[in-house]
Chain A
Amino acid sequence: MAEVKPGGQPAAELSEAAQSELLDLCEDQFAQLEKLQNEIILCEPDLCENPQEQSVNRLMATDAELKQWLTVEPKLLAANSEVLLQAGKEEMLKLCSELEMVLSCYEAKRDKLRETKELEQKWLEEKKQVLIAATDHAERLQMEKEKLSEHSVLQDTKAKIRKMKVYQENLMESLGDVLEKHVPLPQNESSTNRKKKNIELGLNEDLISLNEILEVLMNKVLNTPHDPYVMIDDTFWPPYIEMLLRYGIAVRHQENNFKIRLETFF
Chain B
Amino acid sequence: MKMSLLKPFSKLPGLNTANILLVESEEQFQQNLADTLVEETAVTVNVRLAKSLPLPMENEESRPRIDLVVFIINLTSELSFRSAEASLKYLDPGYFLGKVCFMVTNARNASVPTERLDAVRKLAASLHCPLLFAEDQTPDGVTNAAERLLTILKVAAGLVPMATALYLSNLTRCTLPPDIDQPSFD
Contact = CB atoms under 8 A, between A and B. Distances in A.
A34 B92 contact: no
Contact of B161 (A1, A4, A33, A37): A4
A61 B166 contact: yes
Contacts of A153: none
B128 A55 contact: yes
A5 B93 contact: no
Nearest to B65: A37
Interface in B71-96: 89, 92-93, 96
Contacts of A46: 93
Contacts of A61: 97, 166
Nearest to B164: A1
A47 B93 CA distance: 7
A5 B166 contact: no
B158 A1 contact: yes
A41 to B, nearest CB: 7
A5 B167 CA distance: 18
Interface string B11-43: 111011000000000000000000000000000
Given A1-B158, A5-B158, A8-B16, A54 B166 contact: no
Interface residues of A, number: 24
A54 B93 contact: yes
A2 interface: yes
Contacts of A45: 7, 92-93
Nearest to B161: A4
A48 B13 CA distance: 26
Contacts of B166: 1, 58, 61-62, 65
Nearest to A55: B128
Contacts of A8: 16
Contacts of B12: 33-34, 37
Contacts of A47: 93
Interface residues of B, number: 24
Contacts of B7: 45
A2 B165 CA distance: 10
Interface string A36-67: 01001100011111010011011001100100
Given A37-B12, A40-B9, A55-B128, A2 B164 contact: yes
Interface in B145-164: 158, 161-162, 164
Given A54-B96, A57-B93, A5 B164 contact: no
B9 A37 contact: yes
Contact of B170 (A3, A5, A55, A62): A62
Given A5-B15, A45-B92, A57-B93, A65 B158 contact: no
A61 B141 CA distance: 34
Contacts of B114: none
Contacts of B158: 1, 3-5
B101 to A, nearest CB: 15
Nearest to B126: A51
Contacts of A37: 9, 11-12
B10 interface: yes
Nearest to B94: A45
Of the listed residues A1, A5, A33, A41, the one surrounded by the most CB atoms of chain B closer than 10 A to its CB is A1
Contacts of B15: 5
A54 B16 CA distance: 31
Interface in A1-21: 1-5, 8
Contacts of B89: 49
A60 B7 CA distance: 19
10 contacts: A2-B164, A3-B158, A4-B162, A34-B12, A45-B92, A45-B93, A54-B93, A61-B97, A61-B166, A62-B170
Interface of A: 1-5, 8, 33-34, 37, 40-41, 45-49, 51, 54-55, 57-58, 61-62, 65
Given A4-B158, A45-B7, A46-B93, 13 more contacts: A1-B158, A1-B164, A3-B158, A4-B162, A5-B158, A34-B12, A51-B127, A57-B93, A58-B96, A61-B97, A61-B166, A65-B166, A65-B167
